[in-house]
A and B are shown apart, each in its own frame.
Chain A
Amino acid sequence: MASVTADTPLIPTRSAAARFGVPTALAVALVLLLLLPALGLPPFFESFLYLLCLWISLATSWTIISGFTGYFSFGHGAFYGVGMYTTANLGASLPILVCLVIAAALAALLSLGMGAVIFRVRRLRGELFALLTLAMTIVVATIVLNTPIDGGPGKYLLGVQLPRIYDNSATTIYLLGACVAIGTLAITYFIQYGRLGRGLFAIADDEDVAEGLGVPSYRYKLIAFAISSAIAGVAGAVHAIFVSYVTVSETFSSTVALFVILMSVIGGMRHWLGPAIGAVFVTTINFVFVSGDSALAARIVIGLALILATLFLPEGVAGFVQKQVHKRRAASAGSTDTAPHVLVPAAPIATAPATTERPVLLKGENISLAFRGVQALDGVNFDIRQGEILGLIGPNGSGKSTLINVMNGFYKPDTGRLLFEGQDLAQMPAHRIACLGLARTFQIPRPFQHLSVLDNVMVAAMFGGAAYPQETARRKALETLDFVGLANRAGAFPSELNLHQRKFLELARALVSDARLVMLDEVLAGLTPSEITSAIAMVRRIHGGERTIVFVEHNMRAVMELTDRLIILNQGKLIAEGDPRTVMDDPAVIRAYLGTSDAES
């Protein structure tokens, strides 16, 4: 068995150098930007730099919600507009920094209100989010236009109190913009590599699976949306001073919403630096074209760039670079991970026979669930006992997977209770069930496609029942990958694994959080006979004599070898329960499961 040593090829996530280097680099960049005006730059150059900072802030903040979670907002302009009108109305009476705080708070409140409505919808949520954020811009614009916030003619910003850092107020505005931009980049960087970011990336790839691993998706989306909007509000609040005259038609035009999407799509939406790359590119093009008096051409170029980037560079510049780096590393590491990993079957552990005396870990009472008139589960009662391997079998369509989905919170049963240590899981959200220590695998593996194998497992370790801090999670994840024999594939992406390895990745995700009840949904389906032998040994080692396992399986050899007890479902009803030998001789079971005809039985 290979073990993780110092020379094991690791993980293209974040090297130690980057961990300390990036914050330092950002700090240096900030100091340089702040010192630039002392060189006595020409004013047009200063305003160009300011615009760069504005767009970096807007595009990067948009990415926190839309790039990281995949929920496209077409309404970033609304939050920016809220910020603009905050300064336009309060700038004369309050210090500018207080204005910025109020702008951030108002924008965040607006986004929380919107998010609370939209994120509750389950179907079409991505599309709805896009449309409602777009609609929100129009609603906010209408309200501003029709109330004293603007009232129609636009607002002049007179008497805004700016701190005097340099003599020139334009320079002060530039300094504010630079601080906001660098601050935004820093926040986004820390989000991406922190707990929040891992949760958001998982949500983007497969929201249900993320929820099942313990990511509180509703709350995380709201937090990301609020941070993103607050930054846009601050950027808008600064920009109002820059333009010094705000109108509804300019503020709420589609420009902001369009540009931030464009910049992020071009630069790459799944990386904190991507939108900034896009912002520099687009702002420069726009600056050149507009100063050359061809604003229309700029729009056409930008529209084309949007289409071409979506079709040919779907991951953006940053994503493209990341892929190239990954490819190069995989090629150089290729020599070390050629040998297929063979598992040594562990010695069978003698299982205690008297399972009925073990305490009940989870008790299902009268669980029923119907889909569109089809009774998928029909009054099912069962016990899962501490430390046993419980086989859950039945013909296809008998309700096994539905029962797993009910137990891990993906489906809410119509009736019945699921008692786990005195708590009823039946109506609990999936992420809370995961945190209580229930984990599952999927029959067809559902890895997070854009995360490396290690990151896939780390998400499970950082959320779920264990909720380890990042470094512990990384160590645990590597140990677990070693356990399932995937240690040498830690840096690979799921698309580079074969079915057998993807199944073991599912296992690793379910195991890493030290779950007390592990539900294995047809882990053996699709494996070759020799792979099945090693997988059976693996399940036995997972059990380790004490872990409770629910084992859904068609392969009768595995079922008879592994399980302590069986429950059998047929057409949503529990038709038998008990010791495997006894149950399999039950005529009702033979009829339903083995399909022997009535005449013969």
Chain B
Amino acid sequence: MSATLFGQSVLSGIFAGSLYALMGLGMSLSWRYLRVINIAHFGLVFLAAYMTYEFAGVRGFSALAVALLLIPLFFMLGVIQQVLILRFNVNEFSSLIVTYGLAIIAEAVIQLIWSADFVRYENRALHGNVEVGTLLLPMADILLVVIAVGLCVATWAAMRFTWLGKALRAGLDNPAIAAAFGVPNQRLLLLVSGFSAALAAVAGVFVALLYTLAPSQILSWLGVVFAAVLLGGLGNPLGLLAAGMLIGVSEAITMAVTAPSWAPVVPFTILILLLVLWPQRV
């Protein structure tokens, strides 16, 4: 394998890893802080991707404007979902099944509106490449890495240093005592679910920018993103970022060395190795 091919593989792995982290961030937060294993997250990501395709691609609005509209809209969707989950007192395990059902419905609805065919959104502004030596860096991917790293680091810092983050962690340790010191647990949970869904919107915009869309792909992301979330540690944005990159890069190298169709095996091999060698990690 030439140095250029190797370098290009590592780069594409970093790009893919960034998207895993971006998709996983909302999932990781809601699993850790809400005890909701949210499979519907992928439904939201693709809903956002298709809406980006529809409004920015077909109807010609600016992609940025669409993103700025989707973020608050999805924030509300996330809050509504959490209100219902609290209302029905859904436990962690039932949340997995209920949100699986939601994801199935999202897939069917997307197929109903946009058909089962592949669609592609071409964005001219982000079409170019940056050349560094012999390596090609697409603009859209660079933007993705910046946003994904930025959001993960910002979320980590917010959890670590702000009143909000500390109150959330305290609520997780001991909700009753946190409440006795004035922490509004319920409201914070709604905030987390809204934020998670807003992250799904951001991830969806990038899926639209970078990939050809088809409803059948929705759950194909599930396995690899789950692996990144678990590897990174629940609610740990920096760990998630590192795990996403690790999976992305090892997938890309596997693809370069063998055939692209072997890539799906990589994340689970890593996950299973981790379980065998280090079972107390998760």
Contacts and interface: CB of A to CB of B under 8 A. Distances in A.
Direct contact of A and B (CB under 8 A): yes
Interface of A: 70, 72, 117-118, 120-124, 126-128, 130-132, 134-136, 138-139, 141-143, 145-146, 254, 258, 261, 265, 296, 299-300, 302-307, 310-311, 314
A67 B178 CA distance: 37
A310 B104 contact: no
14 contacts: A72-B96, A72-B97, A117-B275, A123-B280, A135-B267, A136-B268, A138-B223, A138-B264, A142-B265, A258-B100, A303-B104, A310-B97, A311-B90, A311-B94
Smallest CB-CB A-B distances: 6 pairs: A306-B101, A303-B104, A303-B105, A307-B101, A299-B108, A135-B268
B275 A127 contact: no
B100 A306 contact: yes
Given A132-B271, A296-B108, A310 B94 contact: yes
Nearest to B268: A135
B107 interface: yes
A303 B282 contact: no
Given A70-B93, A296-B112, 18 more contacts: A72-B93, A72-B96, A127-B37, A127-B92, A135-B223, A135-B226, A135-B227, A136-B268, A138-B223, A138-B265, A139-B268, A142-B263, A303-B105, A304-B101, A304-B105, A307-B101, A310-B90, A311-B90
Nearest to A311: B88
B229 to A, nearest CB: 9
Interface string B183-197: 000000000000000
Q: Which of under 10, 10 to 19, 20 to 34, or 35 or more describes the interface residues of B?
A: 35 or more
Interface in B245-282: 259, 261-265, 267-269, 271-272, 275-276, 279-280, 282
A141 to B, nearest CB: 8
Contacts of B96: 72, 127, 130
B108 A254 contact: no
Chain B contact surface mostly:
helix
Nearest to B96: A130
A126 B259 CA distance: 34
A311 B92 CA distance: 13
Interface of B: 37, 88, 90, 92-94, 96-98, 100-105, 107-109, 111-112, 219, 222-223, 226-227, 230, 259, 261-265, 267-269, 271-272, 275-276, 279-280, 282
Contact of B275 (A70, A121, A142): A121
B282 A314 contact: no
Contacts of A121: 275, 279, 282
Given A121-B282, A296-B111, A261 B104 contact: no
Contact of B97 (A136, A139, A261): A261
Contacts, number: 108
A302 B279 contact: no
A143 to B, nearest CB: 7
A314 B108 CA distance: 24
Contact of A128 (B92, B101, B102, B275): B275
A137 to B, nearest CB: 8
A370 to B, nearest CB: 16
Contacts of B262: 142, 146
Nearest to B234: A124
A306 B96 CA distance: 11
Contacts of A143: 265
Nearest to B262: A146
Given A265-B97, A311-B90, A142 B261 contact: yes
A303 B94 contact: no
Contacts of B267: 135
Contacts of A128: 230, 275, 282
A168 B100 CA distance: 41
B104 A306 contact: yes
A413 to B, nearest CB: 18
Contacts of B219: 254
Nearest to A298: B108
B264 A139 contact: yes
A132 B263 CA distance: 17
B92 to A, nearest CB: 7
Nearest to B222: A134
Given A72-B96, A304-B101, A135 B271 contact: yes
A307 B108 contact: no
Nearest to B258: A146
Contacts of A302: 104
A118 B100 CA distance: 22
**Chain B CB within 10 Å, residue with most, of A70, A124, A314:** A124
Contact of A299 (B104, B222, B227): B104
B278 to A, nearest CB: 10
Contacts of A300: 104-105, 108-109
Contacts of B261: 142, 145-146
A121 B279 CA distance: 6
A148 to B, nearest CB: 14
Contacts of A118: 275
A143 B94 CA distance: 31
Contacts of B102: 303, 307
Contacts of A123: 280, 282
B268 A120 contact: no
A122 B280 CA distance: 8
